[in-house]
Structure 1
Amino acid sequence: MNHKRLGLQKSLMVLPSILIYFAFMALPIGLTIYYGFTNWNGVSPSWDFIGFQNFTRALHDTQFSYSIRFTLIFSILITVLSNALGLLFAISVNGKGKSMNLHRSIIFLPLLVSPIAAGFVWKALFSYSGIVNQFITQWFGLEPIMFLGRADLAKVILVLFTLWQNIGFCMVVYLAGLQTIPLDFYDVAAIDGANAWQRFKGIVFPYLAPSTTSAVVVMFTSAMREYPRPLVLTAGGPVGQTETLAFRIFKVGFDANQLGYGSAMATWVLLLTSILSVIISKQLRKREEFLK
């Protein structure tokens, strides 16, 4: 009887988590997939079931195809650069003292700022009449540069903006991993005459494998669903050149009142992101086998 009661208590303790997951994850995903098979406009109380029309239409949508390519390149850049710079900063601030704590806080601080609020600041900096252009014209006598009006420069600014906010997360993940490495390993390496690069290659890099897996997967999935930064900074422009997948889906589903079609796009993106995340995770976890 006590075992049954204990089992019931455990089930009741898990129930809130299950309900939250169902309400905020499983149910929205299920509804998105379902609406992808309809022509619902997001407003009408009724809709028709149209099979795979939305899904096949998405495959032939040139702007959607462009958004896929742009978002994949953007995600790869953000993932690689955020992890590389995050690791570099983590190694730099991996010590004790007030100065180290201050440096960590400065690097981590941008992550705490809302992307929307930070986006307005970056837009004020790089707009045609912004602070950066004022500095260029007053100090160098040059013509203002359309940072956000040229596709190539707008993409660079968007990547820099995203990096500025994400490096702090990677730094914290790698810093936690660095602090789990036994100090004895460094002492033995020093006795053997290993230089800094040899210590990094033989000790730090292998033992940071779990941290690398976590940081890479989180950064990649986060970049694949990037929405607020291009919304505020460039509004997807110029001429749709900075439209990420999430931005494109929102634009089609809500601005154009084609929620069924937007849901089909979202389903394709969910499938693509899931497959790539699993592949990346499996490849990175192979490096963790020697730690077991």
Structure 2
Amino acid sequence: MTEPLARPDASSAPHDGAPDPCRPVRLVADDGAVLTFCAHGGHVLGWSPAGGEERLWLSRDTGCGPGTAVRGGIPVIWPQFAARGDGPRHGVVRDRAWEVLQAGTDDRGAATARLRLVSDGTTTPYPHAFTLHLDAVAVGAELSVRLWVRSEGTAPLTFTAALHTYLRVSSTADARLTGLEGRTAEANDGSGSTVLPQGPLPVVGPVDVAVAGVEPGTQGAVVLRDPVLGATVLTADGFGSRVVWNPGPGGAPGDVHPGGEGEFVCVEPAQLEPVTLSPGGEWTGCQVLRADAPA
């Protein structure tokens, strides 16, 4: 049964009996950075840099429960991105409970969560054996999120992946993206490609495009510039593309609260070229978000 997701500042104490995978867990680093997650979907729900405001967006109308993906935060997309394959859209791991291996502060005082999902009968119709780990660490002005995949079967494991990051904006009409100017962008609906214009890009939709061949690390930084919140800088390693999505006025899914489409833009690292692992093989993709204060 789908239930509304509790607010990210809700108590992290479990209900009586078994812990509720939809219960938000709020971790505070020694310097004040905040990381909020839930076990359902291995899902990062929120992040505030030390001394700053929330930088991720979460729909007030999202549901949470078996077979239902949380709308907002950072959903884990695996082993299929969107409809690029013959399996379930956006894969089979964002709508089921993961195991929490660690939740607290590490020896640096950083807010740290580690979650794991091991394939079982609930991950059908994807028949391959796998283990996923998600590590999220918030400290200072940064949030790092690392996805690790291991092939556990006797046959090759092929997948695509993304960290479907919903970045909060004060207004999509005023926010701008830099770092993708002049790049060739492929429409995710298969309708073709276009060359993005030079200069800062508006984030108001409808827009749903993927830019391939982005350099890893700081050389491939994409920056969301918001006049109120400041800049959010996204860098990544292991993911060969960046996806930008905003549904535009009137185009939002039903679990986006009214007007919510004007409060976020998805800027996500994605691996859209299939990765194939031999038995026992491993793959890692990581993104880092850094918050800068308003100029």
TM range (shorter): under 0.3
Q: Radius of gyration: which is bigger?
A: 1
Tell which has more relative contact order, 1 or 2 (C-alpha 8 A, sep 6+). 1
TM-score (norm 2): 0.22
More strand by share: 2
